[in-house]
Amino acid sequence: MIIKKTYKFYAAHRNEQLADKCRNLHGHRYGLECFFDVERDGALSTLFGDFDAKVEPLIKDVYDHCFIVHRNDTFFQTMKYHQEQTGENLRMKILEFPSTVENIAFQLFSEITELGFRLNRIELRETDTSVIEYSREDWVSDCRRDLQNQETTS
């Protein structure tokens, strides 16, 4: 059985690997749909609140209104320098790979799985017309790859 839960967050990022508009710092209103594999135990499987109790704090505390940035992006060094010089604490989610929607989906899938849930797939909406569907099979495949050394993706 699958239970679907929906979350949203706002975040900025850039794709330093591209030579188009997405190389610029910009933001999105991300929509995240999680499809959880659950097993029925009597009359119910899992309380909806059980998902929210763990997933919502992850989204709100780590992703919402932050800058999602690749550790090797030169702009990350600029942001760190700015923080050191001003004492300002800017919220950043630091990734070990470029902050493409595919990689953000991988990261979210990994972190939600670490919370103890079995995901069937997630759908990550970057814009009103652009959604990536990321499956357990995609995640297993990506876990086998070295994402830190990947080539340019969309």
How would you write the pLDDT of the chain (154 residues) with one tens digit per residue?
Answer: 999 999 999 999 998 888 899 899 999 999 999 999 998 877 766 788 999 999 999 999 999 999 999 999 999 999 999 999 999 999 999 999 999 999 999 999 999 999 999 999 999 999 999 999 999 999 999 999 866 555 444 4
In the chain, the domains with their CATH numbers are 2-145 (3.30.479.10)
Q: How far is CA 79 from CA 11, 24, 65, 91, 97, in A?
A: 15, 14, 15, 10, 17
Quick check: 105 and 132 in contact, CB under 8 A? yes
| Single-letter code of the amino acid located at 92 | M
| Single-letter code of the amino acid located at 98 | P
Quick check: 6 and 90 in contact, CB under 8 A? no
Dihedral sign (CA 35, 39, 40, 46): negative
Listed in sequence order, the residues at least 6 apart from 73 whose beta carbon sits closer than 8 Å to its beta carbon are 14, 16, 98, 99
